[in-house]
Homo-oligomer: A and B are copies of this chain.
Amino acid sequence: MEKTAAGYTYGTSQIATSPFSLENLKLLQQSMLFNDDDIKYLQMSYDILKDQTNAILDVWYGFVGSTPQLVYFFGNKSTGEPEGDYLAKVRARFELWILQTAEANYNQDWLNYQYEIGLRHYTIKKNKTDNATAVPIVNYRYIPALTIPVTATLKPFLASKGANVDDVEKMYNAWLKTVLLQTILWGQPYMKEGEF
């Protein structure tokens, strides 16, 4: 992936090693029926999605923006007004997240970055990357919940480039699994060691 964005520290020395191991990642993936076929179909989605990321983000941001309990997390901690600069900076990284997810390269860098994303939703790093002054935490319940709108609204984009119905279904299912997997991993900072 050649693109980058402010604060997108994937694969750099600026982020810590995930306390979650690659071995445990495999066991978690198994329990989600996530297999090599899912990797294949995620990678198939890369070329389909790469020129549609802006349109996808318009839909996702449209949904977040029109759902007060979600846009709340981008709101200034005093006034509650959504912070435009914060929204824009997250959006730029969100685009890379789409591409990275489609690359489906589940290595140590990937795992470390999941932990970093978790920290950025939690009190530990919320707002810091973007010097935002928004509310101090994303309540965890909303994170795995977003698996549904993210993947449901992605399906038409997966279908828009002529892939056959069966492949679209398999790409969608692979996306469903990996988004849920990632949102689960982002929960680690919210829980005590040994309970996550």
Q: Which residues of A contact B (CB under 8 A)?
A: 27-28, 30-34, 67, 69-70, 122-123, 137, 139-142, 144-149, 152, 176-177, 180-181, 183-185, 187-188, 190-192, 194-196
Q: Which residues of B contact A31 (CB under 8 A)?
A: 67, 69-70, 142, 145-146, 149
Tallying the copies of this chain within the complex gives 2
Residues of B within 8 A of A194 (CB): 137, 139
Summarize A's interface: helix, strand, loop or mixed: helix
Partner of A69, one of B27, B180, B191: B27
Residues of B within 8 A of A149 (CB): 31-33
CB <8 Å contact, B141 and A187: yes
A192 and B192 CA atoms in complex are apart in Å by 10
* A184:B67 contact, CB within 8 angstroms: no
Whether B145 contacts A180 by the Cβ 8 Å rule is: yes
Q: Across the two chains, which residue of chain B brings its CB closest to A173?
A: B152
Question: Complex formed: what's the CA distance from A196 to B195 in Å?
Answer: 14
Q: A69–B30 contact, CB under 8 A?
A: yes
In the complex, which residue of chain B has the Cβ closest to the Cβ of A151?
B176
Question: When the two chains form their complex, are residues A190 and B195 in contact, meaning their CB atoms are under 8 A apart?
Answer: yes
- Can you name 8 extra interface pairs (CB under 8 A) apart from A123-B195, A140-B191? A31-B67, A32-B148, A33-B152, A140-B187, A140-B195, A141-B184, A148-B180, A190-B190
B177 touches A139 (CB 8 A): no
In the assembled complex, 15 residue pairs joining A and B whose CB atoms fall closer than 8 Å, in A order, are A28-B142, A31-B146, A33-B148, A123-B195, A137-B194, A139-B195, A144-B144, A144-B180, A144-B183, A144-B184, A145-B180, A145-B184, A148-B177, A176-B176, A190-B190
CB neighbours (8 Å) of A142 from chain B are 28, 31
B145 to A28, Cβ gap below 8 A? yes
